[in-house]
Structure 1
Amino acid sequence: MPRRRHEPSDEALESLLAEHNGGKGEHIRDVLTTMVLNSRDGALLPSERVLAERFGVARMTVRGSIDALESKGMVRRVPGRGTFVQHPTLTHSEIFRSFSEDMRMRGMTPGAKSYRARTRPATRAVAASLDIAPGEPTHYIERIRTADGIPMALERTNLAAARFPNLPTVMGHDDSLYEVLGRVFGVRLESARQTVTIARLTDTEAKRLEVAEGSPAFLIERISVDNMGKVVEFGRSLYRGDRYAIEMHVSPPSTEG
């Protein structure tokens, strides 16, 4: 019987099985988790029968591991069709926190790749957002932010070089920018003004985020302010539309007066 579309290959499964040296229960959980993380959203997993044969265990043992994945929201069962990969949708809320802090609170490990940092003159738009004069030097930092190794956002931000002169040298590629600002420069971020629009990823952006060209993304423009009311950063970042949802709290207008 031909394999259904997007089902992980037998070769990929055999490779994962060969790489693990732990106990049987841990083995099954780790292999299935890795398979889900490396598969496309909506991919069909091998059947319980096939997995039981590969692992050399009873189907009930495999079923228990799949139950654990389902309880975490990593897969979904469709009666009569099988078990499908379900990548979690993360809520981008109004609560002001760094990407690293947000991922840790979700039980995920934050990281980064494709890190780029350079100092350049501020354009008029960047200068206006940072409340500095056009042409003043700014640090531009760009990187792909990851959660458990999965690309989640293309982060781009600008900061005044006069206020943070050695920022590129004291900040590691995986570091939280806000944590570095607090630890090295004594800056405490207080709030941010954000606007969210919908964008289509270019071919280059899509490749860096490991999604299809033209995939939708949230373009989040943020101006962060410290506890003294001074602008700290101006950024325009792209968050994957298939992994994020925007949460907003609304209320009726005040009737006082």
Structure 2
Amino acid sequence: MARARHSDGRDEIEILAGLVVEESGESGKGEQIRQALAAFAASSRPDTLLPSERVLAEQFGVARMTVRGAIDSLEAAGLVRREPGRGAFVQHPRLTHSEIFRSFTEDMRFRGMEPGARDFSSLLEPASARVAAALDLTEGDPVIRIERVRTADGTPMALETTNLPHARFPDLLERMTENDSLYELLASVYGVRPENAEQTVAIDRLSAADATRLDTEPGEPCFAIERKAHDTMGKAVEFGRSLYRGDRYVIEMHVGRAADS
């Protein structure tokens, strides 16, 4: 099978042009190659093909076993994956979406990553029948709709859309900005703390428009997660749907046997 070309269309050697391995033993050179390839993987799209072991060995002037060891290390770290007969491909580490109830901002900070946002929009609109039922409202009641792409260390991770009752948060449209944590704002301004949520998870595929916003390819799999959050009194706070990139997330669930009746 012919080797796939890199996603940006450049020749393999050109991708590593300018990277120089200093004079040292094979182990030292192997570490330098590992660092160079790790940087290449971090700046490349998932599924980008790495140069072959032969090309890398020639480029850096080392034995193929040295290159193989560097790629082994990247594979163990989850930065690349090997496919027999095809080569090694960039693979970005996946984050675990667990059962612990956190906002996106809280979750990214917990992981030591910087949360962010882009493509922010907010508007006031009448609640659809479905949104009204979820928020315990009457169809047509005004709700605040907030949509934005959520990022971690600058990388798009999820397309987040949520709805909140306008009567409960009347000036949220004026207060909410792109990078604000919604939950922190609700707590500090309105004294409302989302405490728990009902979530459903489905597998979907990204539309061309959504894929563009998330810097990935149309048709890529994603997790479609619907969430209805409640405050400490059990009252509905928000209802929304978010699309999480399937190449950046895995879903974790804890299961056990039902108690004997």
TM-score interval, smaller chain: 0.7 to 0.9
Structure-2 separation of matches of 1:30 and 1:159: 46
Q: Deviations over 1:7-49 (max 9, x none)?
A: 763555559x7xxxxxxxxx98886555323323232334688
Superposition TM-score, scaled by structure 2 size: 0.78
The answer to whether the aligner puts 1:210 opposite 2:232 as a matched pair is no
- Counterpart contact for 2:3–2:86, Cα < 8 Å: no
Quick one: which amino acid aligns to residue 173 of structure 1?
Answer: E
Superposition TM-score, scaled by structure 1 size: 0.79
Quote the residue 1:100 is aligned against.
105
| Residue correspondence of structure 1 range 73-92 to structure 2 within 5 A | 73-76=78-81, 83-92=88-97
Q: 1:182 aligns with which of 187, 210, 221?
A: 187
Structure-2 separation of matches of 1:188 and 1:66: 46
The answer to whether the aligner puts 1:253 opposite 2:258 as a matched pair is yes
Which consecutive residues of structure 2, in runs of 5 or more, have no partner in the other structure?
20-31
Structure-2 separation of matches of 1:128 and 1:155: 20
Structure-2 separation of matches of 1:175 and 1:61: 47
The answer to whether the aligner puts 1:151 opposite 2:156 as a matched pair is yes
| Secondary structure in structure 1 of the residue aligned to 2:195 | strand
**Relative to structure 2, which stretch is displaced further, 92-101 or 210-219?**
210-219
| Secondary structure in structure 1 of the residue aligned to 2:186 | helix
Structure-2 separation of matches of 1:126 and 1:67: 49
| Secondary structure in structure 2 of the residue aligned to 1:189 | coil
Quote the residue 2:43 is aligned against.
38
Quote the residue 2:27 is aligned against.
none
The answer to whether the aligner puts 1:192 opposite 2:180 as a matched pair is no
Quick one: which amino acid aligns to residue 116 of structure 2?
Answer: G
Which consecutive residues of structure 1, in runs of 5 or more, have no partner in the other structure?
18-26
Structure-2 separation of matches of 1:255 and 1:245: 31
Is the alpha carbon distance of 1:109 and 1:33 closer, same or farther for their aligned partners in structure 2, counting shifts above 3 Å? farther
Is the alpha carbon distance of 1:120 and 1:189 closer, same or farther for their aligned partners in structure 2, counting shifts above 3 Å? same
**Relative to structure 2, which stretch is displaced further, 65-74 or 212-221?**
65-74
Is the alpha carbon distance of 1:186 and 1:34 closer, same or farther for their aligned partners in structure 2, counting shifts above 3 Å? farther
- Counterpart contact for 2:223–2:244, Cα < 8 Å: yes
Cα offset, 1:200, TM superposition = 2.1
Percent identity over paired residues: 59
Is the alpha carbon distance of 1:214 and 1:4 closer, same or farther for their aligned partners in structure 2, counting shifts above 3 Å? closer
Structure-1 separation of matches of 2:108 and 2:71: 24
Quote the residue 2:25 is aligned against.
none
Q: 1:160 aligns with which of 162, 165, 168?
A: 165
Is the alpha carbon distance of 1:186 and 1:64 closer, same or farther for their aligned partners in structure 2, counting shifts above 3 Å? farther
Cα offset, 1:114, TM superposition = 0.9
